[in-house]
Amino acid sequence: MIRKFLRRVFRRDTSHSAEPALIPVALHGISRDRVSPASRRICTVLQEAGFRAYVVGGAVRDLIAGIAPKDFDVATDATPEQVRQLFRRSRIIGRRFRIVHVMSGPETIEVSTFRAHLSDDASTDEHGRILADNVWGSIAEDATRRDFTVNALYYNPTDETVIDYHHGVGDLKQKTLRIIGDSQARYREDPVRMLRAIRLATKLDLVIDPVARAPIRELADLLGNVPAARLFDEMLKLLTSGQSVGCLKRLREEGLHKGLLPLLDVILEQPQGERFVWLALENTDERVRAGKPVSPGFLFATLLWHEVLSNWEARKAREEPLQPALFEAMNEVLDQQAEQLAITRKISADIKEIWALQPRFERRSGKTPFRLLEQARFRAGYDFLRLRALSGEIALEIPEWWDRFADANPEERGVLLQPERDPGARNKRRRRRRKTPGEGLPETNT
């Protein structure tokens, strides 16, 4: 009896019927206490106001797969203005896709209105990418508009049922990632879906359905038409998924990595640079899986370091001053990368701080080590230094010395300090910096 019911619920519907499968909690396993209180409350308020409202998409998918969701989204038939009226702490954001951010305690829940089918006169660019999408529709239309079947799932916290229009629960249990609709058209509408396919397949250990996989290599160039800010957001999700190593390998297999991190393409062709990158990504994955925080600034600092290093070495060979040469190299590399990925100003500042600390770790005499310990970014800079040593770029003795120095008491630190290389040279530099009266003034003819 139970087997017949399972087959009936999870069989693929080839007729594209508008009637969804209503899957009870006994089969999908999501009890309401596993859903964030804020998203439950938002659904309740909307439903009591006469609207339909469900937890939707990635959170439902992850809960069924046994993964703790990073965030919870809500979908409803209420318009953004109607949602805004119901929640005092909320704001409407976006132009291309208007949604509402509802703040509840420490949580911010993204509430979107059901989208309608695309009309023939929908606003798109010459490649088919959707430029505006604010036409509201039914839940059935909204499900069809979603990218993959495992994302077209709607959970009702009130009765704990999952509404499934496209066999998403069955695909998830059968470890298959299928796209909804024509794959070419769906990727042209939003090329970021190709990156999302790689991320989801790797994260959930799914096999990408041949129909969904076939056009990816052919359409990879469309990513060059995506706004840099969106690409950055998607790459950040991919790199902090806990499966960044697997994701990057699959991106390369599918031909999607070219142009996403342009300088990374070069780095991965250098043995030392490649080892450094893989060590950094493995370290990030371990932290994510252990529930530890991950700094985007640290992550991108590792991915782009070897291009900075190469640029810096070239400048030093031209006898440019050490620290100014590093800053010039940093700016040049970040400017090149910004053409493809819109790394935020804050993250760029974090990246630069980590890079700028590296030469200071070389100086282990005088007052420099004590001052460096007081730097707010010391720990991040040290972790970065250790990765450099593990990859073979610098001697492991350097981070090991800093380990001992950081853990030592004040007296022991004094013993650990290395002698000044040439104290006399420092005094000479200081004397040169002192100007005599009239120094630097232009000469005049008398």
Bridge-based pairing state of the strands 53-56 and 153-156: antiparallel
- Could you tell me what percentage of the chain is helix, strand and coil, using 3-state DSSP and rounding each to the nearest 5? 55, 10, 35
Give the pLDDT of residue 273.
76
Radius of gyration of the chain (CA): 27
Please tell me the distance from the alpha carbon of residue 267 to that of residue 74, in angstroms, as a whole number: 41
> Which of 51-55, 143-147, 191-195, 423-427 is the least confident region?
423-427
Looking at residue 150, the DSSP 8-state letter turns out to be G
Under 8 Å CB-to-CB from 80, ≥6 apart: which residues?
A: 92, 98, 99, 100, 113
> Which of 38-47, 50-59, 219-228 is the least confident region?
219-228
Give the number of residues written for the chain: 446
Residue 101 has φ and ψ, to the nearest 5°, of -95, 120
E strand or H helix that includes residue 17 = none
Q: What is the DSSP string of 318-379?
A: TT--HHHHHHHHHHHHHHHHHTTS---HHHHHHHHHHHHHHHHHT--STTHHHHHHT-TTHH
> Both ends of the chain: CA-CA distance in Å?
112
Strand runs (DSSP E) across 12-151, as ranges? 21-23, 53-56, 73-76, 90-93, 99-104, 107-113
Residue 268 has φ and ψ, to the nearest 5°, of -70, -10
Write out the two tokens for 194: 């190709």
Write out the two tokens for 266: 């070069």
Write out the two tokens for 414: 């004094």
As beta bridge partners, residue 104 has 107
- What is the three-class DSSP state of 425? helix
Q: What is the pLDDT of residues 330-383, one digit of tens each?
A: 999 998 887 777 888 899 999 999 999 999 999 999 999 999 999 999 999 999
Give the pLDDT of residue 186.
93
Please tell me the distance from the alpha carbon of residue 16 to that of residue 287, in angstroms, as a whole number: 42
Burial class (CB in 10 A: 0-12, 13-18, 19+), 289: exposed
Q: What is the pLDDT of residues 98-116, one digit of tens each?
A: 899 999 988 999 999 999 8
E strand or H helix that includes residue 59 = helix 58-64
**Cβ atoms < 10 Å from Cβ of 274:** 15
Catalytic residues, by residue number, are 71, 73, 147
E strand or H helix that includes residue 162 = strand 161-164
> Which of 174-178, 268-272, 384-388 is the least confident region?
268-272
Write out the two tokens for 405: 């120095």
**Residue from 58, 265, 23, 45 nearest 163 by CA:** 23
Under 8 Å CB-to-CB from 391, ≥6 apart: which residues?
A: 272, 275, 276, 279
Give the pLDDT of residue 105.
87
Give the pLDDT of residue 2.
41
Q: What is the pLDDT of residues 279-320, one digit of tens each?
A: 999 999 999 888 888 899 999 999 889 889 999 999 999 999
Q: What is the pLDDT of residues 229-261, one digit of tens each?
A: 888 888 888 889 899 889 988 888 888 877 666
Higher pLDDT, 16 or 125: 125
